[in-house]
Amino acid sequence: MQPRPIALKILDFVSVILLAISTYLALFFAPTELVMGEVQRVFYFHIGTAWVGLLGFVIAAIAGIAYLVTKNMLWDRFELAAVEVSTVFFFITIALGSIWARPAWNTWWTWDPRLTTAAITELIYVAYFMLRQGIEEPEKRARFGAVYTLLGGISAPITFMVIRLFRSIHPVVIGAANASQEKMSMTSDMKTAFFFALFAFTVIFIDMIWHRLRLSSLEEKVEQLKLNSLM
Amino acid sequence: MKSSSPSLLKATFAIVRKDLAAEFRSFELISAMLIFSLLVIIIFNFALELDIKTREAVNAGVLWTTFAFAGTLGLNRSMSVEKDRGCMDGLLLAPVDRSAIYFGKALSNLAFMVIVEAIVLPVYSMLYNVNLFRIDLLAVIILGSIGYTAVGTLLATMSVQTRMREVLLPILLFPIAIPVLLAAVKASGGLLAGSTFAEIMTPFNLLVVYDVIFIAIAFMVFDFVVEE
Amino acid sequence: MIEVKKLVKRFGLKSILRGLDFSVQSGEFVALLGPNGAGKTTFLRILATLSRPSLGQVKVAGHYLPQEAAQVRAKLGVVSHMPLLYPDLTAEENLQFYARMYGIEGMDARITEVLGMVGLEHRRKDLIRTFSRGMQQRLAIGRAVIHDPEVMLFDEPYTGLDQDASEMLDDVLRSVAAEGRTVVMTSHDLARAEDLATRFDILSRGVITASATRADLKQTNLLSFYKQSLED
C-alpha cells in the first residue's frame, strides 16, 4: 500500500486543528444567544456542515456534467466522493437542526421549507447510491450516476421554491418559527465563530474528498490486481 | 424499394402509434393502472375518513398521490416491454434520432396516464360528489402529468437497466418529481377550494417551468442512458 | 464492407476485445465462432452501433463508427437471439412499425414481399404471441431485411429452435445471403455454420485467432479446424 502523500498528511493535521478551534469558538468563545440560549451554539456547526453539504452537491452536479462531456472516469470518482461526503455532512446538518429545533420551537421536526428540502435532497442522494449499486458495469454506472446528480441538482432548488410557496399560503402550526432565525443578529464574536466554522468545514470537506478519491484509486488497483491474477 | 431516414416527428409518432395499438389490444397496462388507482382511492377513503369537510382539503392530494402511484406502474411496464424482449435494441437500431425514442415513449406514457386520469376523475366525482370537470383543473392535471412523465420516462429507461429494476423507479422518481407533484396539488387544491385561475397563477407557472426544464434536460441526456 | 482495426472494448477494467482486426468483403458470409465469453456478442453489438468501441477503428458499409452511426444503421439489418417483436401486435403491424422507423416508401408491397420471403404470408394478421419460437425468429429476419440492408448481423439466431425450425431458418438465411448481402453470424452450432458460411473466423479471448475460407477447409472439417485453432 502506498503511504499517504505528505500534503494529505498535513491537511489531515490542519483539519483536526481547525475542528478543535472551531469547537472551542462555538462552545466557549461565542457569547450565549439571548433568546435561544446555549442550544444556539449548534448553529455554528449546523451552518458549517450545511454549507459543505450543499457545496458538495453542486460540485457533484458539475462533475456529473464534466463526466458526460469528457467520459473521463476521474470525474465519476470525484462526483461519487462529493456525494458521499456531502450526504454524511448533510445528515449531520439535519440532526443538528433537529436538536436545535427541539428547545427553540418545541418540536424535533418542522415542515419548514429548508428542513423539508434538506430531507428530500438527502433522499435524492440515497436514491443515487441505490442506483449505482444496481449497476455492474462501471461506465454505465458513471453515466447513470451523472444523469441522476444532474436531475437532483436541478430539482432540489425548485423543490425549495415550491415548498416555500406552499407553506407561505398554508401557514402551519409553527410557521413563523424560522423568522427568529433570520432575524437573529450576530455579535462580532458570533461572526468570528460563524465564519471560522465555515472555513474549518471547507478544509475538512476538501480533506475528506481527497481521502475518498484516494480510496477509489486504491479500490481500482485492487480490482486490477484481482483481474491480473485471474489471467 | 426506396427508403430514407424518417423525420423526428414521423419516428416519434410511429412509436406512439405502435404503443397505443399494442395497448388497445391487450389493455394490460391501462387496466392495471386503473384498478390500482381505484384501490388507492378506496384505501384513502378509509385511512383518512373522508367526510365532507376533510375531503375538501385533501381531494387534490388524494388525486395526485393516486396518479403518481399509478403513473410509476405504467412507466415501469411500458419500459419493461421494450427491455425484456430486446425491443429497445430494435428501436436503437433504427436510423432515427435518439430523441425520437424519448419523445415517442414519453408521449405514449403521457397518453396512458391521461387515459387513466380521464376515467378516474369522473369516478371520483361520482363517489365524492365534487365537480372535477373544469377546463382550468384539466389544464393543471395535464401539465402535471406532462412533467411527471417527462422525467419518469427518462428514469424508467434507467431503472429497467439496473439490477433492482421495477423497485428502483419510485425511489428515483419521487424525490425528483416532488416539485411537480406539489405544484400540481397546490394548483388543483386551490381551484377545488374555489380560487380563481389568477389566484393559482404561481403554482401554475411553476408547473410550466418544471415541464419546460425537465423536458429539455431529459431530451439532452437521453442519449447517455441508452448508449453503451 | 466491414473494416475493423485494433478494436478494443473495455467494460471497466476488463478488456473484452483486445486489439481485434477483422475485415469482410462485400458478399461474404462470415461465421464468427468461439467459446462463450470470447467477446462474440460484444463485437457484434459494436458492429451493430449498439455499443461504442473503446479504442480502434471500425468501418461498416463505408462509414466510421461511432461517429456516423446513423448512416450505418440505415444500411444494417440485425437479428439477435431475441426476436425484437411486440407480442401484442400482428406480424403485419410489427413490420409496419419497423417500416415507418426506416422511412420505407411503398410499405404494404414491401411487407407482402418480406412475409413471402420468410414464408409467413398466411399469418399476416396474427398476433406475435400466437407464433412459435421458429416463426418469431423467421419474422425477426423479415424485420431485419425490411429496409433491404447491405450488411446483416446474426447473433446466435438458432438459440432455442428445434430441428425443423432450424432447417426452415437455414433456408431463409440462405435466401437472404443469396441476394448479395454481406453477412456476419455468430454461432455455437458448427454444423449450421458449416452449411451456410463462406468463411470461418475464430474469436478467442478478444482477438481473431484463426480464419479459413470454405476452400481452405477442403482437407479438414470445421470441427477439427475449430479445435485446433483454440488449442494454439
Distance of CA C4 to the CA centre of its chain: 16
Per-residue model confidence (pLDDT) at position A178? 47
Check whether A180 has a pLDDT greater than 70: no
Q: What is the DSSP string of C110-161?
A: HHHHHHHHTT-GGGTTSBGGGS-HHHHHHHHHHHHHTT--SEEEEESTTTT-
Cross-strand bridge partners of residue C77: C152
Integer angstrom CA distances of residue C165 from C95, C135, C161: 21, 8, 6
Per-residue model confidence (pLDDT) at position B50? 66
In this complex, is the C-beta atom of B171 within 8 Å of any C-beta atom belonging to chain A?
yes
Provide, rounded to the nearest whole percent, the portion of chain B with pLDDT above 70: 98
Per-residue model confidence (pLDDT) at position A182? 46
User: Under an 8 A CB cutoff, do A139 and C11 touch?
Assistant: yes
Chains touching C (3+ CB pairs < 8 Å): A, B
Question: What predicted TM-score, i.e. pTM, was given to this entire model?
Answer: 0.91
Over residues C81-109, mean pLDDT: 92
Check whether A172 has a pLDDT greater than 70: no
Least confident stretch, B14-18, B50-54, B169-173 = B50-54
Contacts of C11 in chain A (CB under 8 A): 137-139
Smallest CA-to-CA distance from B155 within B66, B104, B225, B93 is with B225
pLDDT tens readout for residues B23-66: 999 899 999 999 999 999 989 888 887 677 777 778 899 999 99
Check whether A174 has a pLDDT greater than 50: no
Chains touching A (3+ CB pairs < 8 Å): B, C
Write down all domains in chain C, each with its CATH number in brackets. Answer: 1-75+152-168+184-232 (3.40.50.300), 82-148 (no CATH)
Domain-located, residue B191:
yes
Q: Domain range for residue B84?
A: 9-226
Is the separation of the CB atoms in C192 and C158 below 8 Å? yes
Contacts of C84 in chain B (CB under 8 A): 85-87, 89-90
CA distance C72 to chain A (A): 23
pLDDT tens readout for residues B85-101: 889 999 999 999 999 99
pLDDT tens readout for residues A31-83: 887 677 777 788 888 889 999 999 999 999 999 999 999 999 999 999 999 99
Per-residue model confidence (pLDDT) at position A83? 95
Per-residue model confidence (pLDDT) at position B100? 94
Phi, psi (5° rounding) for residue A23? Answer: -65, -45
Q: How far apart are CA A155 and CA A177, in angstroms?
A: 26
Over residues A140-169, mean pLDDT: 86
Is the separation of the CB atoms in B29 and B71 below 8 Å? no
Most confident listed range (A80-84, A163-167, B134-138, C36-40)? A80-84
pLDDT tens readout for residues A88-120: 999 999 998 888 888 877 788 877 778 888 899
Check whether B84 has a pLDDT greater than 90: no
Integer angstrom CA distances of residue B173 from A73, A76, A143, B178, C51: 26, 22, 17, 9, 27
Per-residue model confidence (pLDDT) at position A176? 43
CA distance C59 to chain B (A): 16
Cβ-in-10-Å burial (0-12, 13-18, 19+) of B198 comes to exposed
pLDDT tens readout for residues C138-170: 899 899 999 989 999 999 888 878 888 888 888
pLDDT tens readout for residues C8-56: 998 888 888 998 999 999 888 999 988 888 888 899 999 999 999 999 9
Most confident listed range (A165-179, A185-199, C71-85)? C71-85
Is the separation of the CB atoms in B76 and B153 below 8 Å? no
Domain-located, residue B29:
yes
Mean predicted lDDT score pLDDT of chain B: 91
Per-residue model confidence (pLDDT) at position A185? 65
Smallest CA-to-CA distance from C176 within C200, C152, C155, C194 is with C152
Smallest CA-to-CA distance from B214 within B131, B144, B127 is with B144
Is the separation of the CB atoms in B9 and B95 below 8 Å? no
- Shortest CB distance from B86 goes to which of C70, C82, C106? C82
Residue whose grid cell is 470470447: C38
Check whether B124 has a pLDDT greater than 80: yes
**The C-alpha cell that represents C29 in the structure block:** 458470409
Q: How far apart are CA B108 and CA B71, in angstroms?
A: 12
Domain-located, residue B4:
no
Mean predicted lDDT score pLDDT of chain C: 88
Check whether C210 has a pLDDT greater than 50: yes
Per-residue model confidence (pLDDT) at position A67? 96
Quote the DSSP letter at residue C213: E
Per-residue model confidence (pLDDT) at position C232? 65
Per-residue model confidence (pLDDT) at position A1? 58
pLDDT tens readout for residues C120-129: 999 999 999 9
CA distance C13 to chain A (A): 7
**The C-alpha cell that represents A152 in the structure block:** 437532483
Q: How far apart are CA A218 and CA A37, in angstroms?
A: 47
**pLDDT greater at residue C93 or residue B50:** C93
Least confident stretch, B14-23, B153-162, C168-177 = C168-177
Integer angstrom CA distances of residue C21 from C9, C35, C40, C72, C73: 13, 18, 13, 19, 22
Over residues B191-197, mean pLDDT: 85
In this complex, is the C-beta atom of B158 within 8 Å of any C-beta atom belonging to chain A?
yes
Of the pLDDT bands very low, low, confident and very high (cuts 50, 70, 90), residue B175 is very high
User: Under an 8 A CB cutoff, do B93 and C48 touch?
Assistant: yes
Domain-located, residue B184:
yes
User: Under an 8 A CB cutoff, do A137 and C13 touch?
Assistant: no
Contacts of C14 in chain A (CB under 8 A): 227
User: Under an 8 A CB cutoff, do C84 and B85 touch?
Assistant: yes
Domain-located, residue B2:
no
pLDDT tens readout for residues B143-152: 999 999 999 9
Integer angstrom CA distances of residue C41 from A52, A219, C16, C36, C213: 45, 29, 10, 9, 22
Check whether A20 has a pLDDT greater than 60: yes
B194: alpha, beta or left? (left if phi > 0; alpha if psi -120 to 50): left
